[in-house]
Amino acid sequence: MPSGEGADQTSPHRHSHVRHPARHERSRAVIQVAVHAGAIVPLSWLTVDALTGGLTANPIQAITTRTGTAALVCLVLSLAVTPLSGIGRQAWMVPLRRPLGLYAFFYASLHMATFAGLDYGLDWRLIWNTVLEKRYIVAGTGAFVSMLPLALTSTRGWQRRLGPRWRKLHRLAYLAAILAVIHFLWLVKADIRQPLAYGVGVAALLALRLPVVRGRLRSW
C-alpha cells in the first residue's frame, strides 16, 4: 500500500464531499415542481368532489372551508421560505416564495368569491351588514385586503419601480397571516386547536425575523 508524500491522498470519503451541480439543479427543479403540484392538489380535489357529489350535505360551506384552509397553508409556507433559506443558507429556496404567495391569494379569492357569490348571491347590502355584524368576517376581509396589494405588486417590474419600498410593502404578508389566523380562531369558536397551531407557526416565523434568533439557529 503506498504511503508517504508520494501516496494518493484522495479517498472515497473525501470524494463523497465533492459537489455535483447538475444533481443539485435537478433536485431543486423537482422541489419546485412538487411545490406547484402540491399547491394545485386542493383545487383538483375540490373539483373532483364537486363533480362527483362529494362536498357533503352543505357544499357551499365545504368549499368555503377548504379554500380558506388552502389559502392559509400556502400563505404560511410562503412566509417560511425566507427565514428557512437564510438559516440553512439555501438561497435557491427564495424564488418559491412568490408562487406560494400567489397560490395563497388565489385560494383566498376563491374563498371570498364563494362567500359573496354562492353564499350571499352578490347581495352587497346583505354582505355589508353581515361583515359589520360578524367579527370573524371583518378579520377575514382584512386579511384578503392585505394580500391584494401583494398580489398586484408581485412582479419584477413592480419590484424595480418600488425599490426599497417593495420589501416594506410585502411585510403586509405577516399582517395577512395574523388576521387570517384570527379569522379562523373566531370562526371555529369551540375546538381552537387547529387555528392555535397556525398561530404558533406564524409567531415562530415572526420570531425568526429577529437577528438574534436567526443568528443562533444559523450557528447551531
Q: Which set of grid coordinates corresponds to residue 43? A: 383545487
Domain locations in the chain as residue ranges: 24-219
Q: How confident is the model at residue 200 (pLDDT cuts 50, 70, 90)?
A: very high
CA angle 127, 129, 131 (to 5 degrees): 70
pLDDT at 1 over 50: no
Q: How confident is the model at residue 12 (pLDDT cuts 50, 70, 90)?
A: very low
* DSSP symbol at 8: -
- The CA–CA distances, whole Å, from 61 to 27, 29, 64, 67, 71 equal 39, 36, 5, 10, 15
The owner of cell 386547536 is 193
Q: How confident is the model at residue 210 (pLDDT cuts 50, 70, 90)?
A: confident
Q: Pick from 111, 119, 112, 106: which is nearest to 66 by CA?
A: 111
For the chain, what is the mean pLDDT? Answer: 84
Q: Which set of grid coordinates corresponds to residue 50? A: 364537486
Least confident range from 3-17, 44-58, 96-110, 126-140: namely 3-17
pLDDT per position as a tens digit, 109-144? 999 999 999 888 889 999 888 888 899 999 999 999
Give the 3-state secondary structure of residue 163.
coil
Burial environment of residue 23 by CB neighbours within 10 A (0 to 12, 13 to 18, 19 or more): exposed
Q: How confident is the model at residue 220 (pLDDT cuts 50, 70, 90)?
A: low
Q: Which set of grid coordinates corresponds to residue 64? A: 368555503
